[in-house]
Chains A and B, each alone.
Chain A
Amino acid sequence: MKYTPFFGCMMTTKYPWFEAAVRRTFDKMGIELVDRDGFTCCPDPIYFQAHDKMEWYTIAARNISLAEEAGYDIITTCSGCTATLSEVNLALKEDAALRAEINDRLKRIGRQYKGTVNVRHAVTVLRDDFGMERIAGTVTRPLTGLKVAVHYGCHLLKPSRVMRVDDPDRPTILDNLLKAIGCEPIHHDKTLLCCGRACMDNSISDQMVIDILEDVVGSGADCMGLICPTCFDEFDTGQILLGRKYKKSFNIPVVYAFQLLGLAQGLAPQEVGLQHHKVKMDKLLNIGA
């Protein structure tokens, strides 16, 4: 099992411990990541796509063409990168006229998009290639009984026509990963609500985040478990900012799914950067002690 990893901007610069968590857990499972130089921003599916869709296709196609040279499927670890690269890859595979137009632009730098690789989120590799049932075999320290409020976010699942990951209304992929490492996944009323990040009017998005956080508190979960660095931004740093703005207190630790997997596989909390989170989680930070 070999893949070309695409970690993107946020996970390499702002939250590099998420990159570390993916690299270390994949290493534990014997899945090889063959790095490729020369990637840029995916580019961003919200504002860059809003800027100019043709430019968005072009830069994403350039990134995909780099992976095509190596010949391995791309695995993404950020939901934003997953959204951009999956959608552009499908659009260019399906639409020959669009592909020709984009390749005209790529010709200027001697590159070509061929449509020979797939784009897949890392978590689908665990389910479809490695196998969820084998995950338990890599666990040395099961997180038995840890109650995790699952947050899928939008772009791992939707649009399902493009993502082809799971049922967007009844997803199970993260639940099954959490169960495999001993956690108890928890759903609440707002489990599938968007984190609101792309919405320009903060009075709308603030209320979405507050509602989700309050639901998580009400669910009795020990922490939130999620898969997207933008959602992480909204719920970790976000809950501190919203707490100040609206005079509320939530105190809900937020953890990236691959950090939980790493801890269950025996990695120290520092190896997956848990100490850098704004909302500290003593229960997990002291796990190695």
Chain B
Amino acid sequence: MTVPAETAEAAPVKRREQRESVVIRFAGDSGDGMQLTGMQFTTESALAGNDIGTLPDFPAEIRAPAGTLAGVSGFQLNFSSLEVYTPGDNPDVLVAMNPAALRVNIWDLKPGGILLADQDGFDAGNLKKAGYATNPLEDGSLSKYQVIVVDMTGMTLKVLEDLKLSNKVASRCKNFFSLGLCSWLYARPIEPTLKWIQDKFKKTPELVEANARVLKAGYHYGETTELFAIQYEVKPARIAPGTYRNVTGNSALALGLLAAAEKAGLPLFLGSYPITPASDILHELSMYKNFGVYTFQAEDEIAGVCSALGAAFGGAIGVTTSSGPGIALKQEAINLAVMVELPLIICNIQRGGPSTGLPTKTEQADLYQAIFGRNSDSPLPVLAAATPSDCFAMAYDAVRIAIKYMTPVILLSDGYLANGAEPWNIPRFEELSPIPVQFRTETEGFFPYLRDPDTLARPWVRPGTPGLEHRIGGIEKEDVTGHISYAPANHELMTRARARKVAAVAQDIPPTAIRGDQAGDLLVVGWGSTYGAIAAAVDEVRARGKKVSQVHLRYLNPLPPDLGGILRRFKTVLVPEMNLGQLLTILRATYLVDAVGLNKIQGQPFKVSEMTGEILRLLEG
């Protein structure tokens, strides 16, 4: 279906075509501003009413040598008039600012897809760095794509001629040319970006002028050039009513922690050490000082968690944030928190490992570490967010559980959720569930390890409370009194009590939602950031009449009490994970089900097609 476009006077008449969904990937040198371009295009798309999913993909090196394959930075966005679950498998459009970006990304572009390249970036030097003997834009090797070559750098410099900017500064504006051009191509409003430029560069008015000019130049170029005959339109998606904003997983997680602390009426104390991809939580919480948030950049990972535990002892919401390698360092202190039974929130924004691994790439291979990674029997609740905006809900619930049960809680996110963005239906603070806190002040009948009969939680006492002076520590405690005890029977009793307490968290887990039928041929069970790819795949396969359902776990320890019954209602259970089968092992051990795994360990999220392929293979095989 086509609609006539509204046209400017001088512009040629262009056709406007509808698209249901578009996947676009911006790729360039890590200094080319591709992340920024992608994020602005995301904002424009969200304001146009589309549902969206994003995937930034950047190198571990801050500035790899310009023009090299190692320095390629990309940002993929899926915007749609339908519900979006993932950033999309293969892009419909690839914007490549140089040959290295082309080389790294071209094999993902859909056949017939649009390749938009910056002519200036494809000079002899850059071609050589990317390993091209001839210019692929000219040698016919890209014939299965619609190749559109635009001299973005040249035109950028031209529109800035009179501004007397250095060549270097001026050419760095070229990403706004690509943004303007793509904005026109998909009929996105550029006003939000113009406003953003005003804000971002308000201290340097010449950059406001330069970037705004280049953005508009790109937009108008799309309108007037004959290279583009069609403008595409993606209608707004049907989304639940509400006020929305875009949110990344890390941002949502920070907001969830803050909201929970505010709800509990306690100060939030973050003890953290910078690590990719968790650092943005530290950055974000550092901006909330007017909420009374303490952010302490510690000397190391261990001090990060220890300071948070010290603050928890003092009556604050103690939080530490890190990624797998940092969590490994924190485990002894987490174990201390298990022993002293204080609330503590440990956020692991997982990345590819082991060791330094793939710092900027995603993986979900720290589930064993979270559940089993401490010495001795050391149980604690483990939660995992499913989508960027779900990081808010799970961070909030992690705080609630930690306080209610007086226990450390590990919250798992990952690099894909952390940096990926999606629209967030903004809640009203007043409508969030209460987080009651009861500091003990009554001296009569006080014992540090006298447990609440329902939750098995011990009392939380703030130092400074008269008459309740007491000592806690890592040595085994006598039941009730909390005195040091090496008595054999007491140790077993306390070990079992700690386990029972964590098991009791199951009573707080909501009934497990099943996407699809309650019973059937195949159940796909996932956790963490695979949610979107699984949901999209299950929908797709169900549309073909298959009896496939999805369960996505957000509570991994303890597991939901109804999970065993659900698993048994399906002939086959498939567990896709970005690891070698960690949840799979746990499900098999816990429920004695013959579940099978689908495992991808490439630092990249699952594609929907990989998921549907495996589901169909299992159904047919």
Whether chain B is bound by chain A comes out as no
List chain A positions with a Cβ less than 8 A from chain B. none
List chain B positions with a Cβ less than 8 A from chain A. none
